[in-house]
Structures are given as C-alpha cells and as structure tokens.
Amino acid sequence: MATLNSAWNIAVSSLNADQAALNASANNTANVNTPGYTRKEAIFDENIPVTIAGLTYGTGASVIDIQSQRDRVLEQSVDQQTQTQQATATRLAALQNVQAVFAAATSTTAGAANGGINSSLSQFFAALTPLEGNPSDTSLRETVLSAAVSLVESFSGSITELQQQQASLDAESQSVVTQVNALSKSIAGLNQQIQTLDPTSDAGGLEDQRQYDLNQLSQLVGISQIKTENNGLTVTTTSGALLVSEGTAFALTSGPSAGVTHYFDAQGNDITTPLASGGGQLGGYLTTRDQDIPHVEGALDALAGGLANRLNAIQQSGSTASGASAAGYPLFTVPASGGSPGSIAGGITVAISDPTLVAAGTAGKGPSDGSNAVLLANVQTSPQTFAAQPGSPYQVTAPVSPTNYFADFIATLGSLVSQTSSLSTAQQASLAQTQTQRDSLSAVNTNDEASTLSLLERSYEASSKVFTILDTVFASALNLGEQTTVA
C-alpha cells in the first residue's frame, strides 16, 4: 500500500504541476498583444524522495515557480539605445522643420523661405543696377527702397518662423517633463508594491508594468537604473538627477529663464543643459531649441548685420539726388550686437523713406552721377568678413560674398540634417536588433506556446490515465475478501 500511495501522490503531483504549467502557457497566449508583457515559464523540480524499508522512492515533480523570462542586461540595453535613438529622431524632425523655413519659395509671406532671402537679395541688387545709368529717375530710387523693405522683411520673416518653432519646442519639452514626472511616480509606486510582497509571491505582473514604464521613460529622457535590495530600483537622469528612489518619486520642476523654460531637479539645481545632452525626446527638443535654432539665428544675424553695415558705409559715403552728402542717412537701421540670437536679423529696418536720399552718386560729382550705385550693387559679389560665431557650424572665417555666405549656410544646414538622418537610421537599426534579441527570450511566440500547450496536455492526459488506473487498483484492493464490491 505504501508503494501504491507513493504512486498515487506522484500522479496527483504530476496533475497539479501540469495544470500550473498549462495555466502559465495559456496566460502567455492570452497576453500576446499586451504591451510590456513578459513570457512566463513554469519551473519544475523533483519532490523530496522518501525511503521505505531501506529503499528510496521518487515522489514526482512540482512547479516551484512561475518565472518571467527576462534578461535585465538586454532590457537595459534596449532602454539605453531607445533614449539615444529618440533624441536623434526628435532632433531630426525639428531640424527638418528648421530647414523647411529655407526651402524653395512656397510661402506667400515675405521671407519665409530660401526663395524669400535668396530672391530678396537678388532683387535688391538688381534694383540698384538701372540706377547706375539713370540716377535722376525717382521711380528707380523708389524701387530700390521697396526692394530694401522686402529684404529686411525676408530676414525678419525667417526669424519669426524660427522663434515660433522655438516656442513650440519649449511647449513640447514642458509636456515631456509632465510625462516624466507621471512615469516616475508610477515606477515608485510599483517599486513599493514589489518590495512589500511576500518573498514567495509572484511579482511578475508588477515587474512587467515597471519595465514597461521604464521603457516609456527612456523614450522621453535619458535615464540610468540601479538595482537595490528586495528587487527595488533607483532611477536617475544620465547626469545623476534623482527621479525615483525605492518607493519615492522626485519630480522635475520648471521655471522661465532668458525667455525659455529651464528645468530643475529636486534640489533646485538647473539641469537644462545636462538634459539636452542626456537623450530621449526631451534631449532632442532642448538641443534644437537651445543650440540648433540659435546657431541658425546667429548665422542670419551675421549675414544681415554684415550686409547692412557694408551697404550703410557705402551709402553714407555717397551723395543724394540733390548732390548733397548722404552722411547721416544710412540705408538701414541695425540693432546693436550682443542681443539674443536673431535680434539683428529680426530687428533691421529701412532707415529712410525719401527716395531722393538713396546715395546713387559719389560725393562731389553732382546729381547726375551714378557711380555710388555701382559700388552698392557690387556688394552682392564682393567678399567681406562676417561676424564670428564661435562654436557654430555656420561660422565663416575667410571673407566671402553675401550670396556665397547664404549658399554655404544652406549647404551646411542641409549637411547637418543629412548627417542626423543617417545617424537616426543607424540607431534605429541597432535598436531593432537588440529588441529582437530581447524578444527572442521575453516575447510570446504563439507557435511555441501552441507546441508547449500540446505537450503539457499530453502529459496531463498521461497523468490522468495513471491516476485512473491507480484508482481502479485501490478499488480492487479494497474489494479483496469482501462480498460487496467497492466502486
């Protein structure tokens, strides 16, 4: 009977183990489309054997745990690559919007595109050419002033669009930080639940949700993860600002600075610059807002300011329609340097409205002279030195003509967009490869689960058959020597 009892217990243990494994596999299939779900696997182990009359008998096997199939190294690698790729992709989209400001002229607003500034430059210098031979024609002078107005509007229109993009990026960054704080709070709450569970309890579902939140967080901001006792987790930004410690979340705060939003850690330290270089969508938004667009605005400042000052110098050295000196009558009013990026290109205005003040002639040569108009027109192709822009990709150290400066600027911007696009593509490919490695272990494969279910069902049927046979044997044993049959 002891041997029969042992066989009975083995059959029962096998049925229970198979049922637990079947439940785990069925749960996998049911959650195949659940975001963040990690495949669960039943872990079998042999039961403690028993010794009877000097003989040792096995007691079957049991499911000792339902384990989530995850590789934390791969999961963290996915998170790290995600934050890098998201920063580049976000920056790329923002840079493409910047590039669109200078795309082929499709906008009806003055100066909103490359055709605006480029064609306005050409039209302005083209307006000066006929004035060379007919300086007494007032209508030609009016055309020059009209072209000058279009030129300054082309610069200010572009600056306005860039400033609008900065404002949009600023708003996007605020939205991202709000999401970062919400996810940090969720992760802290999950930490607390996981750490307070009984050691024998299954934390798989909570860990799945926490890992999902971590991956979502890595899309938004660059993070570092530190595993703590009792399966807890500390999360910081890549620069070390605390976001989550065990069951406590630390919110990022914001405040205005120099016309844009800056961000601060829980201790009040300004971490805007580290966040820009740290990764995630936030890094991409801040890099374009605080670096890329100011560099573009600085390039336009250098072009607009340098061009206007050069033209003003020639204008004031010439003579007006009456033959009087044009000294004190600059063609443009140029804001002082040292302001915020874009303040020069966006603030230049035409200084005169009287067409007779356009200095077409050279001082002392009389009202019929148009030689100064020639000098003004020659500025288009004459090399000059533009203001230095340390750290900017658009800095030009050698003298260059205004038209060549603008062409080089457009080419450099296009190259930056192209390089960022190539980098984003490469990062996406690398991320996809790592995700595939992770998913080969952690994701649910319906074909594999179908095979597992089939095997477990056969095992369950076999155990059930053994159980039925043993039940019959027990019934027969109990019926020995009895007139009444035990069913």
pLDDT in tens, 138-193: 999 999 999 999 999 999 999 999 999 999 999 999 999 999 999 999 999 999 99
On average, the pLDDT of the chain sits at: 88
pLDDT for the residue numbered 487: 53
Task: Answer whether residue 236 shows pLDDT above 90.
Answer: yes
439 in Cβ contact with 71 (< 8 Å): no
Tokens of 181: 């704080």
Distances (CA, A) of 346 to 96, 152, 162, 299, 396: 21, 8, 10, 12, 21
Cβ neighbour number for residue 351 with a 10 Å cutoff: 16
Task: Answer whether residue 111 shows pLDDT above 60.
Answer: no
Distances (CA, A) of 140 to 145, 350, 356, 377: 9, 17, 10, 14
Looking only at the bridges linking them, the beta strands covering 253-257 and 260-264 are antiparallel
What is the C-alpha separation between 53 and 1, in angstroms, rounded?
13
Task: Answer whether residue 327 shows pLDDT above 80.
Answer: yes
Residue whose token pair is 């020069």:
344
Which residue type is seen at 133?
G
Task: Answer whether residue 268 shows pLDDT above 60.
Answer: yes
The band of 103, judged by pLDDT with boundaries at 50, 70 and 90, is: confident
What is the C-alpha separation between 246 and 226, in angstroms, rounded?
10
Cβ neighbour number for residue 267 with a 10 Å cutoff: 9
Q: What is the mean pLDDT of residues 87-104?
A: 93
Residue that wins the pLDDT comparison between 45 and 341: 341
110-124, 216-230, 242-256, 311-325: range with lowest mean pLDDT: 110-124
Q: What is the mean pLDDT of residues 247-276?
A: 95
pLDDT for the residue numbered 114: 45
Residue closest to 30 by CA, chosen among 211, 210, 216, 205? 205
Task: Answer whether residue 347 shows pLDDT above 50.
Answer: yes
* 401 three-class SS: coil
Most confident of the following: 24-33, 421-430, 458-467: 421-430
Residue that wins the pLDDT comparison between 257 and 459: 257
The band of 483, judged by pLDDT with boundaries at 50, 70 and 90, is: low
pLDDT for the residue numbered 1: 45
Q: What letters, b where the CB count within 10 A reaches 16 and e where it falls short, cover 32-52?
A: eeeebbbbbbbeeeeeeeeee
Q: Give pLDDT tens digits for 386-401.
A: 998 888 999 988 999 9
CB proximity list for 187: less than 8 A, separation 6 or greater: 210, 213, 214, 217, 233, 235, 243, 244, 249
Task: Answer whether residue 107 shows pLDDT above 60.
Answer: no
Backbone phi and psi for residue 97, each to the nearest 5 degrees, phi listed first: -65, -40
- Percent with pLDDT over 90 in the chain: 62
Distances (CA, A) of 437 to 32, 37, 71, 229, 441: 17, 16, 10, 27, 7
Distance of CA 163 to the CA centre of its chain: 20
What is the C-alpha separation between 337 and 449, in angstroms, rounded?
69
Cβ neighbour number for residue 240 with a 10 Å cutoff: 12
What is the C-alpha separation between 249 and 227, in angstroms, rounded?
16
Residue closest to 128 by CA, chosen among 360, 448, 348? 360
Task: Answer whether residue 469 shows pLDDT above 90.
Answer: no
Backbone phi and psi for residue 17, each to the nearest 5 degrees, phi listed first: -65, -45
Tokens of 227: 């595993």
Q: Give pLDDT tens digits for 278-307.
A: 999 999 999 999 999 999 999 999 999 999
Q: Give pLDDT tens digits for 5-39.
A: 667 677 777 778 778 777 877 877 877 787 878 87
Task: Answer whether residue 199 shows pLDDT above 80.
Answer: no
pLDDT for the residue numbered 106: 37
Task: Answer whether residue 205 shows pLDDT above 80.
Answer: yes
Residue 338, H or E segment: none
Backbone phi and psi for residue 53, each to the nearest 5 degrees, phi listed first: 55, 40
pLDDT for the residue numbered 198: 64
CB proximity list for 481: less than 8 A, separation 6 or greater: none
Biggest alpha carbon–alpha carbon distance for the chain: 146
pLDDT for the residue numbered 200: 59
pLDDT for the residue numbered 167: 97
pLDDT for the residue numbered 203: 74
373 in Cβ contact with 379 (< 8 Å): no
Residues facing 248 on adjacent strands: 245
377 in Cβ contact with 130 (< 8 Å): no
Task: Answer whether residue 377 shows pLDDT above 90.
Answer: yes
Long-range contacts of 265-270 (CB under 8 A, 24+ apart): 265/237, 265/241, 266/241, 266/242, 269/241
102-106, 183-187, 409-413: range with lowest mean pLDDT: 102-106
Task: Return the C-alpha torsion angle 316, 317, 318, 319, nearest 10.
Answer: 70
Q: What is the mean pLDDT of residues 93-122?
A: 73
Tokens of 260: 């844009």
Residue that wins the pLDDT comparison between 399 and 229: 399
